[in-house]
Structure 1
Amino acid sequence: MEETIIKAAILVSFIFCGYTLKQLRLFGRSTFNTISTIVFNITLPSVIVVNLNGIHFDTRYLLISLLAIIFNLVMVAMGYAAGRTKDEKAFYMLNINGYNIGNFALPFVSYFFDSAAVLIVCIFDAGNSLMCLGGAYGLARCVRGEKGESIVMILAKTIFSSIPVLSYITMITLSLAGFSLPQVVIDWAKIPASANTFLSMLMIGVALGLSLKKEYLHLIYTDVGLRLLASVVIAAFVYFALDYPMAIKKVIMVLVFAPVAGMACYYTAKMKLKIEVAACISSFYILLSIVVMSAMIIALQSV
Structure 2
Amino acid sequence: MFNVLAKVSSFVVVILIGVAAGHSGKFGEGADRLISKIVFNLTLPCAIIRAFGASKFDQSLLCLIALGFAANVTPFFLSLVVYAGKPQDERILQQSNVAGFNIGCFAFAFVQAFFPAQAAIATCLFDAGNSLMCTGGTWALIRALVLDTDYQCMRDKATLFARSLFSSASFDCYVVLIFMGLFDLRIPPEAITLIDPIANANSFLAMFMIGLIIRFTVNKTKAAKLIRLISWRFAFAAVLSLAALFLLPFDPIIRKVVAILAWAPAPSTGPVYTLWAGGDKGLAGMANALTILAGIIMMTSLVLFLGV
Say if 1:89 and 1:143, in contact at 8 Å, map to a contact too.
no
| Matching residue within 96, 105, 129 for 2:107 | 105
What residue number does 1:71 align with?
71
Percent of paired sites with the same residue = 29
| Matching residue within 205, 229, 239 for 1:233 | 239
Residues of 2 paired with 1:260 and 1:178: CA distance? Answer: 34
Instruction: Map Cα deviations across residues 195-223 of structure 1 (whole Å, 9 max, x no partner).
Output: 00011111111111110111211111001
Are 1:188 and 2:190 matched, yes or no?
A: no
Residues of 1 paired with 2:165 and 2:100: CA distance? Answer: 16
What residue number does 2:61 align with?
61
Residues of 2 paired with 1:72 and 1:28: CA distance? Answer: 34
Letter in 1 for 2:76: V
Say if 1:109 and 1:117, in contact at 8 Å, map to a contact too.
yes
Say if 1:53 and 1:171, in contact at 8 Å, map to a contact too.
no
Aligned pair count? 302
Instruction: Map Cα deviations across residues 135-169 of structure 1 (whole Å, 9 max, x no partner).
Output: 12222222224231744223311232111110111
| Matching residue within 144, 149, 156 for 1:146 | 149
Unaligned runs of 5+ in 1: none
Residues of 2 paired with 1:86 and 1:20: CA distance? Answer: 34
| Structural RMSD (CA) | 1.6
Say if 1:28 and 1:206, in contact at 8 Å, map to a contact too.
no
Residues of 1 paired with 2:240 and 2:166: CA distance? Answer: 30
What residue number does 2:125 align with?
123
Residues of 1 paired with 2:11 and 2:185: CA distance? Answer: 34
- What SS class does the counterpart of residue 194 from structure 1 fall into? helix
Q: TM-score, normalising length from structure 2?
A: 0.93
Letter in 2 for 1:52: F
Residues of 1 paired with 2:170 and 2:213: CA distance? Answer: 20
What residue number does 1:85 align with?
87
Instruction: Map Cα deviations across residues 79-124 of structure 1 (whole Å, 9 max, x no partner).
Output: 3134213443332121110000000000111111121111111010
Residues of 1 paired with 2:89 and 2:220: CA distance? Answer: 19
| Matching residue within 229, 249, 255 for 1:223 | 229
Unaligned runs of 5+ in 2: none
| Matching residue within 174, 177, 181 for 2:183 | 177
What residue number does 1:41 align with?
41
Residues of 1 paired with 2:134 and 2:66: CA distance? Answer: 14
Instruction: Map Cα deviations across residues 256-278 of structure 1 (whole Å, 9 max, x no partner).
Output: 10000111111111111111111
